[in-house]
């Protein structure tokens, strides 16, 4: 198969996690930038990346880079791209999103309009038509302008990859599935260690952790816009990726994953979401406040997304809440705690400075991933093999 470049956008600050995931799939990284990782693969990589990557937001098929300081330049450079290699005669195409940073061309709507016109002009000549019905498969474009350089990609995903298909019900301020998965992968947690989320909300942290422990591919129960691209991606690529995803599932994985929330209705929603994800049997959900966070065993993990207090009336309750978090954590024996919050006084009221603090953007909100590291469990000594 022909080699192509694919672009995987992700949350700012989590590029290293996505890079490692892509490498684990066996693909070569060609570039890492703020908020996206570009890698080399083939058309089969489109299906594997969409189905297996946990921290990517979507997968784009890179079709070109152009330099443009005027709209005339943008029109001409866009027209030079061989769109006929990607979009068939009946294809539906449009620029679904344009972003611009430090560039002379900064109007998203104008960028979208000019590029569409340029594509139409080229394809009219190539296909010998004066009008496009656009009643076939969809080929939405995304454009990233940075200092007058535009990277252009065709979206192979459709609905964002955080739409795993299991979150039927959600709490007021849910954490996206892709962000939750990336944050778990930033920790040393593995399926043989205890994991508790005392502010589980929709259950995203426990569900994503259970899916990792059972080796359930995040995209195996949803569809993708490029599945209908018969001109580019053979159907067998999707069948092969799905077959491999099903074969990899470990239904018998034994884990200790727990999710608590003070709101009983929210806990019911989390259970429903876990059932939809196929991991309900792996997670213990319970209505319980963080002040009652207890566990008899050592070396566990708290991974959680406590309230931020974004609304003014909620901010007054944050000091007491974060004191409770700190007290409960101190009562756990040799545990680690990882929490994401925009509350800048979190360490002050928890009563301990984090060992590491990582800045991450959750949408437009600047958050901090505080990492309080406990001791590692002792290594289990292997019994000496008996001599023959």
Three-state DSSP at 213 gives helix
Find out whether 176 and 167 touch, Cβ atoms under 8 Å: no
Whether the predicted pLDDT of 381 surpasses 80: no
* Domain-wise residue ranges, the chain: 4-155, 177-216+247-372
Q: pLDDT value at position 386?
A: 41
- Identical fold between 4-155 and 177-216+247-372: no
Q: pLDDT value at position 266?
A: 93
Whether the predicted pLDDT of 294 surpasses 80: yes
Q: What is the CATH class of 177-216+247-372?
A: alpha beta
Mean per-residue pLDDT of the chain? 94
Band (pLDDT 50/70/90 cuts) for residue 380 is: confident
Q: What is the pLDDT of residues 301-326, one digit of tens each?
A: 999 999 987 665 578 899 999 999 99
How is the beta sheet containing 195-197 ordered, strand by strand? 283-287, 257-261, 195-197, 301-304, 336-341, 365-372, 356-362
Band (pLDDT 50/70/90 cuts) for residue 365 is: confident
Q: pLDDT value at position 173?
A: 59
Q: pLDDT value at position 387?
A: 37
Find out whether 46 and 226 touch, Cβ atoms under 8 Å: yes
Following DSSP, what letter does each residue of 284-341 receive, concatenated? EEEE--GGG---SSSS-EEEE------SHHHHTTHHHHHHHHHHHHHTSTT-EEEEEE
Q: What is the pLDDT of residues 78-90, one digit of tens each?
A: 999 999 999 999 9
Token pair 């800048």 in the structure block, residue: 344
Of the candidates 116, 91, 33, which has an alpha carbon nearest to the alpha carbon of residue 5? 33
Q: pLDDT value at position 385?
A: 41
Mean pLDDT of all residues in 55-70: 98
Q: What is the CATH class of 4-155?
A: alpha beta
Mean pLDDT of all residues in 133-148: 97
Q: What percent of the chain is modeled with pLDDT above 70?
A: 95
Mean pLDDT of all residues in 314-342: 95
Give start and end residues of each alpha helix (H) in the chain. Answer: 15-24, 43-52, 71-80, 108-127, 177-186, 204-213, 235-248, 264-277, 312-315, 318-330, 346-350
Q: pLDDT value at position 171?
A: 59
């Amino acid at each position: 198969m022909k080699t192509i470049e694919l672009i995987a956008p992700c949350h700012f600050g989590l590029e290293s996690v996505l890079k490692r995931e892509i490498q684990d799939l066996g693909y070569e990284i060609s570039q890492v930038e703020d908020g996206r990782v570009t890698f080399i693969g083939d058309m089969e990589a489109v299906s594997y990346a969409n189905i297996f990557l946990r921290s990517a937001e979507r997968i784009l098929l890179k079709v070109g880079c152009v330099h443009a300081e005027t709209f005339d330049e943008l029109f001409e450079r866009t027209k030079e791209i061989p769109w006929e290699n990607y979009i068939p005669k009946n294809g539906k195409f449009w620029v679904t999103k344009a972003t611009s940073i430090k560039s002379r061309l900064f109007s998203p709507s104008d960028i979208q309009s000019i590029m569409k016109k340029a594509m139409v002009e080229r394809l009219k000549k190539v296909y010998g038509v004066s009008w496009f019905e656009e009643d076939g498969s969809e080929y939405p474009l995304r454009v990233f302008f940075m200092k007058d350089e535009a990277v252009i990609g065709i979206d192979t995903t459709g609905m964002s990859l955080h739409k795993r298909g299991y979150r039927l019900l959600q709490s007021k301020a849910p954490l996206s599935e892709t962000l939750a998965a990336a944050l778990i992968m930033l920790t040393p947690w593995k399926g043989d260690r205890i994991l508790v989320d005392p502010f589980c909300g929709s259950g995203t942290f426990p569900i994503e952790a259970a899916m990792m422990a059972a080796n359930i591919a995040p995209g195996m129960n949803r569809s993708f816009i490029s599945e209908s691209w018969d001109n580019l991606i053979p159907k067998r690529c999707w069948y092969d990726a799905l077959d491999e995803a099903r074969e990899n599932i470990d239904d018998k994985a034994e884990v200790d994953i727990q999710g608590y929330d003070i709101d009983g209705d929210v806990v019911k929603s989390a259970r429903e979401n876990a059932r939809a994800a196929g991991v309900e049997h792996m997670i213990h959900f319970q209505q319980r406040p963080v002040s009652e966070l207890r566990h008899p065993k050592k070396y566990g993990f708290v991974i959680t997304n406590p309230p931020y207090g974004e609304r003014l009336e909620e901010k007054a309750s944050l000091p007491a809440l974060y004191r409770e978090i700190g007290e409960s954590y101190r009562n756990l024996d040799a545990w680690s705690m990882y929490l994401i919050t925009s509350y800048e006084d979190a360490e002050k009221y928890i009563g301990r400075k984090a060992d590491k603090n990582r800045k991450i953007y959750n949408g437009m909100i600047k958050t901090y991933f505080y990492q309080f590291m406990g001791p590692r469990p002792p290594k289990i000594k292997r019994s000496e093999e008996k001599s023959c």
